[in-house]
Amino acid sequence: MARKTQPNSGLPRLPEADAPHPGEGVQPPEVEHSRLLISRRLLDLTLSKLAARSAETRESAAIWAGTIAGEDSLATEVHFHHELCDDRGSELSLELTEEAKFRLYETLHGSGLKLVALIHTHPESWVGLSHIDQRNQVCSRIGFWSLVVPNYGRRPWDLFALGVHIRADNGWYQVPKAKIADRIIISG
């Protein structure tokens, strides 16, 4: 979910105190060594289907499931919101219904896989987490990932243009661009 681009009114922005803020600079120790491992095939499949669903006009999203070993999360499968339910995508928002969410939890419980990451598209280059994104509790586990893809997933895809956020003790921590390649390990 993206925020609307505000025309520059010349007014100072007031701090918003009602949601946890993505970390700025300070790396929470509990996610210091967290890594997300994914195959090139699964990453490309996810990005191409998100871009197709977004079709330059609306947000789209998916969940990666997989296994967790210590600080490493390995994504092994993808579940697209629009395949789980009517995701009601719009220019700046989309939904995963509670029913769809619980069906997915049951499926994963049956297969022994864990929720690893949420990945969703934003219309433009801003890849922070909106307040709604921050509150969107698909999973509140420390070490859960939330990735934001700019420009509705349009090519060319650039790892360093992604918003890479990790759930920490005290809200979300955004991985600095320069560190993304240390955190997201693409194989194959």
What is the binding site for Zn ion (CB under 5 A)?
Answer: 1, 130, 133
Q: How far is the CB of 120 from Zn ion (least distance, A)?
A: 6
Q: Which is nearer to Zn ion, 114 or 122 (CB)?
A: 122
Q: Is the Cβ of residue 95 or residue 133 nearer to Zn ion in the bound state?
A: 133
Nearer to Zn ion by C-beta: 66 or 163? 163
CB of 101 to Zn ion, least distance (A): 17
Q: Which residue is nearest to Zn ion (CB)?
A: 1
The span from the CA of 55 to the CA of 59, in Å, is 9
CB of 130 to Zn ion, least distance (A): 5
Report the residue number, 119 or 180, with the smaller CB distance to Zn ion.
Answer: 119
Q: What is the closest distance, in whole angstroms, from the C-beta atom of residue 57 to Zn ion in the complex?
A: 15
Environment class of residue 188 by beta-carbon count within 10 Å: exposed (0-12), middle (13-18) or buried (19+)?
A: exposed
